[in-house]
Structure 1
Amino acid sequence: MRSRLPIFFTGFASLLLYFFLTQLSYQFNWGEGYSERPILTYLAIYFSLCVLYGLTWFFVRRHPEDRGNFWTIIIFGLLFRAVLLPSQQIQEDDVYRYLWDGKVFANGINPFEYAPAEVHAFKALRIQNPESYYEIYVERNERELEQLDALKWESPRSVKFLERINHPDVPTIYPPMAQFVFRLVHQIKPDSIVALRAGFLIFDILALVFIIGILSRLGMDKTGCLIYFWSPLIIKETFNSTHLDIIGISLLCGAIYFLIRQRHTLATFFLALSFLGKLYPIILFPLFLQAYYEKTIEEGKNAWSRILRNSVLFMGVVFLGYLSFLGIGLQMFDGLKAFTMYWQSNDSIFAILAFIFKNVLGGFATEMTLSNPLPIFLSKVTVVIILTGVLFWLLLKRTSLLQQPVEFVRGLFWIMALVFLLSPVQNSWYLCWVVPFLCIFPQRSWIVLTGLIGFYYLDFYFDYQELQAFSHWIPWVEYLPFYFLLGLELRESRIQNRVTEQVD
């Protein structure tokens, strides 16, 4: 019992901080009081939570396989989420797009077809420039836009939420699995942020169950789930910011769990659903196929037949996921195209690549390629080459899932980690995709980064205080300590491997 007292203390202290965070959130009113927003106070609470999180992990590691600690972790993790559920958004507004997409889809209209701005502007365009209007819209479009306009005005909250959507001139970028979740939540309770968070809680708990299953299957201490379930990053970005990433994260955890259990059909099914949740996990599919091949060869069966069946299953699930939206053809990818081509935010390695190419190219740096400045285009090509190279290296390395399951999962971890590190958009919630892997590989560098990434919100403070010159330094504060610690860990790992080889 005494071994649990420190965890009770850190858990209770964290619970109080989450309560204060909820109270503080009501000072973040959309569209008003920007310069008075208590962003620095929020950061003080967030970093305090991160310190308590680190201390708790230290205490938990001293008493592995403690059943009481395990249930303490679960109970406090649920309490943290319950306290934050009614909070107001802190500096994030993606949720308003989710609610609108769900409303549009639930009313039988393709959410990928119309940008929110079209709902505001179509009547004015019809009056002021009817010729252009009827070149753009046919009778079906006109009927659907009238329906969307009626949905906009069905309640004061509906109008308010639609007007809060960011980038309203861009159609939705969120893939099919997310759209089905948004639709279901709307059908249960329209225009409800709390209902959406409750829906995300189901996926969050599902992720926890799969993480515990993975740890058990790998012969690891189940209390390692603390790294996920107490993560301030996961809790804030899912239950306050209300970001949808938890949908794909939970399904990816399921895919890895079933992969380790050699349940290939279920692993493929969950990986396809995870792809439909946020697209990233498709990069892992070749490694899944390699694991299928190894197991089938061991069983003395036709490996290529199993690979073909699972490939068809993956493509079939993806096709069925997109089927409801294919009526508008490639137009459904217009929002995603805009995001991948033009967005760049909070990046580290990508920003360095762009800087290098800009200086190397000199006068050619202003040339445009595929709607991107040449340095940005070349940086994106470099990222693709690096990710492809690492993926091929892992495939050629042929780490055995049967003989070395932990090392195989480490390969999946590094691919997903590189997807984040090399991305031109490194929003803080994108790091959530790495957190479940930290339950298996609790590296200091990555755990520290889940705290440091909180400085992302400092950019808003500098903007509101008209101190934009300082914003350029934020990524350095976030990432330099991380890369330093990561370098030390890689060096230690290399030394350990050499010692092991000499002993062998």
Structure 2
Amino acid sequence: MQSYWRLHKYPIIFAVACILFYWSFAYNLVRTDFVKLFMLFGAIFYLTYKIIQFEKWNFKFLLVIGILFRLVFLIAEPNLSQDFYRFIWDGELIKNGINPYLYTPDQIMEQGSVTFASMNELHEGMSSLNARHYSNYPPVNQILFAIASILGGGSVMGSMIAMRLTVIAADLGILYFGRKLLQNLNKANHMAFWYFLNPLVVIELTGNLHFEGVMLFFFVWALYLISKNKWLWATPVYAISIMVKLMPILFLPIFLKYFGFKKSVVFYTLVILGCAALLIPFYSPVFIDNYTETVGLWFSNFEFNASMYNVVKKIAVTYYKAKPWELIDSYGSMLTKAIIVIVLLFAFLRKNQKLDSVITSMVFALACYYFLSSTVHPWYVVFLLGFAIFTDYRFPLVWSCTIILSYYAYSNPNYKENLWLLAVEYILVIGFFIYEMIGSRPKKLYFFKK
């Protein structure tokens, strides 16, 4: 024991400090206190970096502290997001035999057609925006909400704990398949810990109960199966990933050259059939209209932590007297078309004949989408970070650190963003991205040909 302490003294001290900082983050922080939030996050990020630097080959040590970091949040109420109230609400509806895609929470409250123990608490806890719109969470996500509600026994805390354990299990699955995939790609498998121990991942997923990690688990599992040439088995897993969060559907065209035309047709067909099978239990004649209406809001109504959009908005409002509410609607429509074109460019202009090239194309495509998007919540970057570890690019890791600056918006009552802080965030991220493209490895100037 003494010899172990002598060999690992500093990493152990750093890990204990991280646990104490996570405890303060979970139980003694309100999101309006940006200074405390920033200082805690910065300290944890630095200490985590040092821990991985010292112990990157010590699998058991990093696994144990990663689990301990997450268990700190086990009974904590999320303090940076209200979304969990809607998650539990949808789960309670399914438990009571109600399709969550057919009624808004406000409609349910007005009709009084169904009641459950935590009904008023959940409705009051969720944002008014959430309460007046239909659910936008895909079917597998809904199933997980329902399981959490059943296991929670009608208690909000019980449901939170059940969801939290699901998220932790998904992160463990990512670590398991991620290390195997890294080995298959001839990369150092300790890179998986840059995801598993990343403070953004721990705080936004385990702490704030976002399900990007569950989506990423099935996505990484599918990539691992593809790397083992078990691509047929990968199709239902990939479909489940899409039905947790829709984002993986964006990458389907990028597989075209990797599989070849015939295999791609089979792969796409099976993935689509898998998605349809998961959707059938929730289908109704009005489902499509309700769902597309809500999803469309994310492209045409919201703005948070944007980069390119803020530049366009500043120019349009200042010099062309554009109305912000009209601008974001037009921008959202253009963004959808732009990202389709960008994905197709990466699908057809890059060779994508090796899996590492396919994953790199995915990183580029998703990064472009986020750089152009009008809304980039911190937990969105978790997905980008999660599969960027399988490439040579580290700018998503930089982003996982700097994106905490976006939370300044919650430090004032009117949620006004500080554009200077956002500028610092994106200058560092985009600057590091450009450095990786043309600075450290000149051959990456020709990434479309790789």
Distance in 1 (alpha carbons) for counterparts of 2:259 and 2:337: 25
For residue 119 of structure 1, what is the aligned residue in structure 2? 108
Counterpart amino acid of 2:401? G
Deviation of 1:49 after TM superposition, in Å, equals 0.7
Partner Cα distance (2:23, 2:374) in 1:
34
After TM superposition, give the deviation of residue 292 of structure 1 in Å: 2.0
Change (3 A) 1:353 1:261: farther
Residue aligning to 2:40: 45
Which of 34, 43, 63 in structure 2 is aligned with 1:74?
Answer: 63
Matched, 1:435 2:424: no
User: Who is 1:165 aligned against?
Assistant: 126
Residues 366 and 43 of structure 1, relative CA distance in 2, 3 Å threshold:
closer
Task: Give 1:311's aligned residue.
Answer: 268
- Matched to 2:326, the amino acid is P
- Provide the residue aligned with 2:294 in structure 1: 335
Give 3-state SS (helix, strand or coil) of 2:72's partner.
helix
- Percent of paired sites with the same residue: 20
d(CA) in 2 for partners of 1:470, 1:3: 45
1:133-148 matches, within 5 Å, as 145-147=112-114
1:486 and 2:433 correspond: yes
Structure 1 range deviating more: 38-47 or 446-455: 38-47
TM-score by length of 2: 0.88
Checking the alignment, whether the CA contact within 8 Å between 2:257 and 2:352 is kept in structure 1 is no
Q: How does 1:435-454 map to 2 (within 5 A)?
A: 435-441=385-391, 443-454=393-404
Aligned partner (choices 98, 101, 104) of residue 109 of structure 1: 98
**Within 1, Cα distance between the matches of 2:122 and 2:332?**
36
* Match runs of 1:411-426 below 5 Å: 411-426=361-376
Aligned residues: 434
| Equivalent AA in structure 2 for residue 280 of structure 1 | M
CA contact (8 A) 1:357 1:378 kept: no
| Cα separation, partners in 2 of 1:375 and 1:43, compared to 1, 3 Å | closer
Deviation string 1:98-141 (CA, Å, 9 cap, x unpaired) is 0000010122111011111112333xxxxxxxxxxxxxxxxxxx
2:297 aligned partner, one-letter code: A
Cα separation, 2, equivalents of 1:485 and 1:441: 15
Residues of 1 paired with 2:72 and 2:137: CA distance? 28
Q: Cα offset for 1:268?
A: 2.1
Report the counterpart of residue 138 of structure 2 in structure 1.
175
Contact 1:445/1:486 (8 A) holds in 2: yes
* 2-structure distance, mates of 1:396, 1:234: 33
Task: State the Cα deviation string for residues 258-315 of structure 1 (Å, max 9, x = none).
Answer: 121221112222221111111111111122243222xxxxxxxxx52x3333222111
How far residue 387 of structure 1 moved from its aligned partner, in angstroms, is: 4.7
Q: Contact 1:347 / 1:426 at 8 angstroms: preserved in 2?
A: yes
Structure 2: how far apart are the matches of 1:42 and 1:386?
Answer: 33
- Coordinate RMSD, CA, aligned: 2.6
| One-letter identity of the residue aligned with 2:107 | E
* Counterpart check, 1:475 vs 2:438: no
Counterpart of 1:85 (choices 69, 74, 78) is 74
Q: Distance in 1 between matches of 2:416 and 2:356?
A: 44
Larger Rg: 1
Runs of at least 5 residues in structure 2 that lack an aligned partner in the other structure:
none
TM-score, structure 1 as length reference: 0.79
